[in-house]
Amino acid sequence: MMLFTKKTAVSSLVCLMLNGCNSTPRNEIPFFETSLVENQSLMKPIRSISNFDDSLSCMDQLLLKKNIPTTYITSKLIPDASGKVFVSVKDMIITSLSKMSRSSHSFEFVDFETDPLKQDTVQNITTLLLNSGDMHIPKPQLYVSGAITSMDQNVMIKGTGFGVASDDFEIGTTSDLIATNFSLELHLGDFDTRTILPGIESANELAIAGKGDALDGGGRISKAGTQFSLSTAYSQGVGPATRALVDLGTIEIVGKWAEVPYWRCLSLDQTHPEFQREMHDWFKAMNMSEQINFFGNALYAGGYLTTPETEGLTTTLKQAILTFQRDEGIVPTGIPNFETYERIMRHYVTIDENGRFKNIGWDEATEADRRGDNIWPDADKTNQNPLKVEVATLPEKPEYALNESVIFTVRTNREAWLYCYYKNSKGVMTKVYPSIFQENPKITGLGSLTIPPKKTPDLFAFTMTNTGNESLLCAAAEQQLDEKKIPDLFKSDFTAINSAFKNVSLQDTLKGLSTGDIAFGSADWKVK
């Protein structure tokens, strides 16, 4: 019997080996198909943002109002003196400068690499064109210098532990806290003289937290025993921390150089380091039905929906989410995710006198809040945040001299169709936006529009040629106006349109062509 069993086992093993050797990958197609699915990322990508994202947008508006001319800037490589922070600080600086130049066009980064070890196709072609005289690189006026100056690991460690044991079992728990500090210093230099501008510097430090918890135990019953170990670890990465330091440092050095009140942009509630973490806890506490209800009511209150959409993720709600995401500069997916929730909550959350986050609505108390127009109506009520359009002149002043040029800035609080009309001192009105120079009539609520484009002011100009009172009127509409009813109002750029509305005002005429909400904004000045 024993001999038969051994023969059977050996035969089975031989057959198994032969079958294994004879198998081909074609027999495992379902397995390989699954690998294509499992290889996909578990999470959808989101925009890299820091606590200072809104502060960078705030700086963009300050630079725009100050009418800072476009400045060519570059950056040295920002080294890591500690050798422990492996991030590209220079690229983060470029992103920060770009965000604060979205509307103001205050900075253009000169990208040129001289290190022969880092030459690529673009750089090689650039070198060839420069040598042949077919390309000109503008000389930077400013440059950013600095370094990650220190990285002190395990500055503070706090550990606790507790355990119980007997002859038959033992159990214990431990908990550790670890603090690591690192600092970043940035300076602004004059490229002509290669000197660091005095007083234009930033030196900031940040603590990175680490936490670990563990539970271990074991037991014995007679001669048999068992053991278990459970542990969790939390370690903040240096990437987001470095981005926060870079954003803060860039705001400081640019604010000091441009002589604008940059500290106003650093006092926003959203810069609080716990803001995103607290919002994430609130978001996780809601189930899917509650999330849909929140997005439907909040986007209605924000003016993105004509009626609250709370009966599931409808096409209308997805389109409203998509529009809001475009206005906020986040990845437009149309999906009610945390990133979108966090941006909406910036219109509903402030910090109270005790330093805690609190929900706010649209009442007398919040109307006086320092964020003012940033607050939306209460999502549980029926009133909506109205469509708004703001018009201003650059430079911003009530009077201009003859032959002086004016630039206009226009900003809406959400996506809209924009129409702007200029009225000269003789009362002649002409359409100046959209035009052959700026053809897209639909704008987002992200940043400001300049007329003419500040980046290319040579396209056309508004030069004061006659004394008297002049103005610019802009209409922002939720839906495209019915241009076919009065085509003379829209078809010709920079030509008189007064004859198109003889007995009523231009505002009333445009209102009559609108099928949805429409808002008006204007700027008035005097030419002497």
Could you tell me the pLDDT band of residue 258, with boundaries at 50, 70 and 90? very high
Does residue 374 surpass a pLDDT of 70?
no
Looking at every residue in the chain, the average pLDDT score rounds to 83
Tokens of 159: 């550990």
The pLDDT of residue 6: 56
Q: Which domains does the chain have, with CATH numbers?
A: 53-266 (3.40.50.10610), 275-374 (no CATH), 389-527 (2.60.40)
CA proximity to 445, closest of 327, 335, 314: 327
Q: What region does 518 belong to: left with phi over 0, alpha with psi -120 to 50, or beta?
A: beta
- CB-based burial, 298-322: b 16+ in 10 Å, e otherwise: bbbbbbbbeebbbeebeeebbebbb
At 459-486, the pLDDT tens digits run 788 889 899 999 999 999 988 998 888 8
What local confidence, expressed as pLDDT, does residue 356 receive?
A: 61
Cβ neighbours of residue 487 closer than 8 Å, sequence gap 6 or more: none
Q: Number of C-alpha atoms within 13 angstroms, CB side, residue 507? A: 8
**What pLDDT was estimated at residue 372?**
43
The widest CA-to-CA distance across the chain, in whole angstroms, is 119
| pLDDT winner (highest mean) among 4-18, 40-54, 227-241, 329-343 | 329-343
CA-closest candidate to residue 373, choices 199, 493, 519: 519
pLDDT at 369: 42
CA distance 332 to 326: 6
Please say if the pLDDT value at position 270 is more than 70.
no
Q: Is the pLDDT of residue 370 over 50?
A: no
Report the pLDDT value the prediction gives residue 430, as an integer from 0 to 100. 92
What single-letter amino acid sits at 38? E
- Determine the pLDDT at residue 363: 41
d(C-alpha 126, C-alpha 313), whole Å? 50
The single-letter DSSP state of residue 48 is -
Closest by CA position to 302, among listed 474, 447, 449, 478:
478
Check residue 14 and give its pLDDT. Answer: 57
pLDDT of residue 238: 85
pLDDT at 380: 52
| CB of 384 closer than 8 Å to CB of 361 | no
Question: What is the CA angle 33-35-41, rounded to 5?
Answer: 125
pLDDT tens-digit profile of 151-189?
Answer: 888 888 888 888 888 777 788 888 888 888 889 999 999
What is the pLDDT at residue 202?
92
Query: What pLDDT shows up at residue 329?
Result: 82
172-181, 265-274, 285-294, 418-427: range with lowest mean pLDDT: 265-274
Whether the pLDDT of residue 47 is over 80: the answer is no
Three-point CA angle 444, 64, 262, nearest 5°: 110
Tell me the CA distances in angstroms from 306 to 125, 424, 481, one per residue in order: 53, 37, 17
Rounded CA-CA distance 474/441 in Å is: 12
Is the full-model pTM beyond 0.85?
no
Query: Could you read off the pLDDT of 286-323 as tens digits, one per residue?
Result: 888 888 888 988 888 888 888 887 788 899 999 999 99
**Of the candidate ranges 118-122, 208-212, 403-407, 511-515, the one whose mean pLDDT is the lowest:** 118-122
